[in-house]
Chains A and B, each alone.
Chain A
Amino acid sequence: MAATATAPGAPTSRLGKAATEFDDRLIVAGPVRRTLNKVFPDHWSFLLGEIALYCFILLLLSGTYLTFFFDATMTEVVYDGEYDPLRGTDMSAAYASALDLSFDVRGGLFMRQMHHWAALLFVAAIVVHLLRIFFTGAFRRPRESNWLIGVVMLVLSLLMGVTGYTLPDDLLSGTGLRIISAILLSIPVIGTWVHFAIFNGDFVGEEIIGRFYIAHVLIFPAILLALIAVHLLILVKQKHTQFPGPGRTEHNVVGNRLFPTFAGKATGLLLVVFGVCAALAGLVQINPVWLWGPYNPAQVSAASQPDWYILFLDGSTRIFPAWDINLPGDYTIPALFWPTVVVAGAMFTVLALYPMIERKLTGDTAAHHLLQRPRDVPVRTSLGVMALTFYLVLVISGSNDVIADKFTISLNAMTWFGRIGVIVFPAIAYMITYRICLGLQQHDREVLEHGIETGVIRRLPHGEFIEVHQPLGPVDEHGHGQLAYGGAPVPKRMNQVGGARRAIRGFFTPIEQPSAVELEQQGEGRGLAAGEAARELTSSGRPSDGGRPSDGGRPQDTRD
C-alpha cells in the first residue's frame, strides 16, 4: 500500500493526502466509488419513499428533543403552569409535562407540533409510496421481500403513531386508549389475559403510559430503524426499477449518478420536507392538548377521533352491525373483534401477501425490473382502486359524525351510507377502473396504428372531410403504423413529438414565445433530444409540420 505514496499520480493537495491517509486505514475508496456511481432513475415517483425516510429522520430528531421534557408517568399532580384555564386541575404528570412543554418551554410547542405533523406526513408518505409500488408492479419478483418489509414498516409506523398519540394522556388520547383497551378485551379466549399483561391489570392502571412510552421511543423506532436499513440495502443490492422507455431494459437502470446530481436533489428534498414540516408546525396548530383537558374515564367529547391513519379502523368499527356471537358455554365473541382485529389483520395480511397472490394467479414467476403502466394491468389496477375505495369509505365513516355535523346530514344516514357504501362502492370502482384501463389501452393502440390527431381537417377531392393523422413511425400500404406497444407512454399530441412547439416550458408557467434560455440554447446548437427521432418521421399533413418548433403554421394553431 505504501507503494501508492510514491506512485505517479499520487495526490499532492492536502485534501488528497488526507483522503489517501484515510483510505490507507479503512480501504473505502472502492465502495465509495461504487456508491457515488450508483445510478438513480430520475422519475419523480421514485422520490416518494424518500419523503418518508426524511420524515423519519425529522421524527427522530424532534422526538429526542421532546424526551428532554416529557415525563411519562401517571402520577397525579396539580397543574400549576402558565395556562390559566387548567391551573389547579388534577392531572397526570404526563399531561402536565405536555402542557409545560407547550407553554413553559421556549419553542417547545413548536417542536411538539413539528413532531406531530412529521408523524402525520410520515404515514402519508409511506402510503403514497406504497401506492406507487403497487400500481406500477414494482413489488414483483425479485422485490417481494422488500414489499414485505415495507408492509411491516407501515404497521410499525401505525403502532408508533398510536402509542405516540396516547402519551400526552389528554382527554382525546385517553378516549383512544379506552378503545384500544376494549379492542384487546374483545379478542376471543386470550383477550382479557392480553389486556392484563399490557395494562398490568384492569383499565387504566398506572403503567400504561410508561409502557407505551418505552415502546414509542425505543422498541418500535429500533425495529423500524433496522428495517429501514435492510429495506435500503436490498434496494441498493437489487437496484432500482424503471419505467420502460428508449434504451431501458430489464438489465439496466437509466438515470443520474448519485454524485452530484442525485445527491443534490435528494438533499434538497430532505430540506424541503423539513421545511414543510417546520412551516406546518408553526403555522397550523395540531393536537392542542390544553383544549382537550386531562383524561378522566367519566368524561368524553363529541367528535373524538384518532389521527387520520387510524380513522379507517374507527370507521369500520362504527359501521359494523351489532353482531355478538354467543357460543355454547356462555362464551362470547364481541362484535368489536371483527371490525378491528380481524379487519385490520385481514387488510394487512392481504397487502403483505399480494405479490404472492398475484404470482399464483398470473403464473408470472419471472423477475421484472421494468415497471408497468397501471393501464396495462387492468385487473391489478382495478383491484387497487377497489381496495382504495374500500379504505376511503372506512375513513369517511370514521369521520362521519364530523361530516354529519358540518354538512347537516343525519348521523344515522351517514352510518348507513358507510354500511352500504363499503360493499357497493368498491365493486363500482372496480368496474369503472377496468373500463378506463381498457379505454386507455385502446387509445394507445389506436394512436400507434393511425397516428396522432393533428386537428387538421382536409377535404378530399370527392368532398369527404377527414382529419389528418400524424403517424408515429413507418406505415404499411394502408397507412397503418407498424410500431408495437412497448409499455412506454405513447405521445398523443403533436407537441410531444416535436411537431409543434412545446407548450409548456418551465414548471409553472407556459411560455409562448421562445425564452431567453431557449434562444441561447438554440444558439449553442442544442436540439431537443427526445423529439429528434420523431421529427424525422413527420411527413404527412402540411410541409411546415416537419419544421422546427419555432416555425409558424403549427397544426396546434388550427386546433386550439
Chain B
Amino acid sequence: MSTTNPHSDAPTDAAGRPADRARVRRRSKQRRRIANVAGLMASLVLTGSLYSVFAPAQAADDTTSESAAEAAGRELYERSCITCHGENLEGEANRGPSLIGVGEASVYFQVHTGRMPLVRQQEQAPDKPAVFSDEEIDQLMAYVQANGGGPTLPSGNLQDGDLAEGGELFRLNCASCHNFVGEGGALSSGKYAPSLEDATDLEIYTAMLTGPENMPVFGDNQLTPEEKRSIINYVQTVKFQADPGGAGVGRMGPVAEGLVIWVVGVTALMFGIFWMGSKA
C-alpha cells in the first residue's frame, strides 16, 4: 500500500474536496431522488443531530480501549448496520457479507454513495444521497478499520495521473461495463454498472480498490495507485469536457442518434412535405 493510513482527520481532508464537488454536481439528481427518501432522511437527520449532542459525553466515558471516533462508529454501526453485518462484522447469512478485511475504503464507498445502509434487499444496492454525514462516515470507517482491517483511503490529488494512459486503462478495464464515457450499462438479470456521472474521485478510487458488489477488485498490485489516478483523471476530464459537436444526446452512440433522426429529422421533414402538399 503506497497510501498513508490516515486516522481521524486525513480522510476528511481527502474526502472533503471531491465530496463537496460531488454534492454540487449531484444537486439536480438529488432533487429527483429526494422525494423517495425524504422520510428516511428526516428521521435519520433527527437521530444524527440528537446523537451529535450526546456524543462527546459518551466518548469521554470510554477512552480506554478505543478512540472517540471508533466508539461513535460502534454506536452508529450497532444502530444501522448490525442486523445484516453481524455483531463482530462477521456478516449474516443471506443478509449481509462479512466486513472483515473490507477496510475503510469499502465503508467510504458504500456509505458515501448512499448504497449502505440498504433500504431493502434487491439485486443491487442503488446509489442514493448519503444517509450519514461526512463526520459519521469517518466514525464508521474508523470503527470498521479498527476491528476488521483492510484497504485504506488514499490521500492527495487523485487526478494527477497521465490522461492518455488513463484512457487506455479505462477502455481496457472499465469501459466494458461502464461504457466509453462512464455512462454505465446493463449487466445480467437486472444488475447494472452504475453511471460515473455523479462519482467523485475518492468514490471511483475506493470502488476500484474494493470491488463493491459485482465489480471486480483492482488491487494496488494490479492497477497501481498511479494508474488508478490516471483513470480517475480520464473519467473526470472526459465527464466535464464540453461536447464540441453540439448537444451530446447523452453520449449514447447509435441508439440515441437513431432516435434523433426519426423523432427530429424525419418528423421535421414530414411536416415540411405536408405543408408543401397542402392547398392552403
Contact = CB atoms under 8 A, between A and B. Distances in A.
Does A touch B (CB under 8 Å) in the complex? Answer: yes
Interface of A: 42-45, 47-48, 51, 84-89, 102-103, 109-110, 113, 117, 120-121, 124-125, 128, 171-172, 265, 268-269, 272-273, 276-277, 280-288, 291-293, 296, 298-309, 311, 399, 401-402, 404-405, 408-413, 504-507
B257 interface: yes
Contact of A276 (B175, B187, B188, B269): B269
B179 A303 contact: yes
A125 B266 contact: yes
B105 to A, nearest CB: 25
A405 B253 CA distance: 14
B260 A401 contact: no
Given A121-B265, A296-B171, A44 B188 contact: no
A311 B167 CA distance: 28
Contacts of B278: 44, 507
Closest 5 pairs (CB-CB, A-B): A302-B185, A308-B258, A44-B277, A285-B245, A410-B190
B273 interface: yes
Contacts of A505: 280
A120 B245 contact: no
A507 B255 contact: no
B261 A124 contact: yes
A268 B269 CA distance: 12
Contact of A308 (B257, B264, B272, B274): B257
Determine which residue in B234, B257, B270, B280 has the highest number of CB atoms from chain A within 10 A of its CB, and name it.
Answer: B257
Contact of A89 (B164, B241, B243, B249): B164
B167 A128 contact: no
Given A302-B175, A303-B183, A507-B274, 16 more contacts: A102-B244, A103-B244, A124-B261, A125-B266, A128-B266, A172-B254, A269-B273, A282-B245, A284-B260, A301-B175, A301-B179, A308-B258, A405-B186, A413-B190, A504-B280, A507-B278
Determine which residue in A48, A301, A401 has the highest number of CB atoms from chain B within 10 A of its CB, and name it.
Answer: A301
Interface string B165-184: 11110011001111111011
Nearest to B272: A272
Contacts of B248: 285, 288
Contacts of B234: 85
Interface of B: 163-168, 171-172, 175-181, 183-190, 192-193, 234, 237-238, 241, 243-249, 251-255, 257-262, 264-266, 268-270, 272-278, 280
Contact of B252 (A102, A402, A409): A402
B164 A405 contact: no
Contacts of B260: 280, 284
Determine which residue in A305, A405, A409 has the highest number of CB atoms from chain B within 10 A of its CB, and name it.
Answer: A405
Contact of B276 (A44, A282, A309): A44
Nearest to B264: A280
Given A293-B171, A405-B192, A411-B188, A269 B252 contact: no
Contacts of B259: 308
A413 to B, nearest CB: 8
Nearest to A411: B186
B273 A291 contact: no
A44 B245 contact: no
B257 A287 contact: yes
10 contacts: A117-B265, A120-B257, A120-B261, A120-B265, A124-B261, A280-B260, A287-B253, A291-B251, A405-B192, A505-B280
A85 B237 contact: yes
Given A102-B244, A507-B278, A412 B189 contact: yes
A308 B237 contact: no
Nearest to B167: A85
Nearest to A282: B246
Contacts of B186: 302, 401-402, 404-405, 411
Main secondary structure of the interface of A (DSSP, over half): helix
Contact of A303 (B168, B185, B190, B245): B185
Contacts of A125: 266, 269
A353 to B, nearest CB: 27
Contacts of B277: 42-45, 47
B4 to A, nearest CB: 29
B254 A311 contact: yes
Contacts of B184: 302, 405
Contact of B171 (A43, A282, A299, A307): A299
B98 to A, nearest CB: 28
B255 A399 contact: yes
A470 to B, nearest CB: 23
Contacts of B172: 296, 298-299
Contacts of A281: 246
A85 B238 contact: yes
Contacts of B180: 171-172, 291-293, 301
A89 B168 contact: yes
A276 B172 CA distance: 38
Nearest to B176: A300
B260 to A, nearest CB: 6
B171 A265 contact: no
Contacts of B264: 280, 284
Contacts of A121: 261, 265-266, 269
Contacts of A399: 255
Given A171-B171, A269-B272, A507-B280, A303 B253 contact: yes
A47 B276 contact: yes
Given A47-B276, A288-B248, A300-B175, A412 B254 contact: no
A446 B57 CA distance: 88
Contacts of B274: 44, 507
Contacts of B265: 117, 120-121, 124, 276-277, 280
Given A117-B261, A408-B190, A109 B164 contact: no
Contacts of B238: 85, 291
A47 B251 CA distance: 33
B34 to A, nearest CB: 19
B120 to A, nearest CB: 15
A540 B267 CA distance: 42
A505 B171 CA distance: 57
A172 B257 CA distance: 14
Nearest to A54: B269
A300 B185 CA distance: 12
A277 B272 CA distance: 14
B23 to A, nearest CB: 24
Contacts of B193: 302
A129 B74 CA distance: 70
Contacts of B165: 88
B216 to A, nearest CB: 14
A392 to B, nearest CB: 12
A286 B245 contact: yes
A109 B181 contact: no
B245 to A, nearest CB: 4
A117 B258 CA distance: 9
A88 B251 CA distance: 24
Contact of A305 (B171, B255, B262): B255
B64 to A, nearest CB: 49
B248 to A, nearest CB: 5
A44 B273 CA distance: 5
B185 A405 contact: yes
Nearest to B194: A405
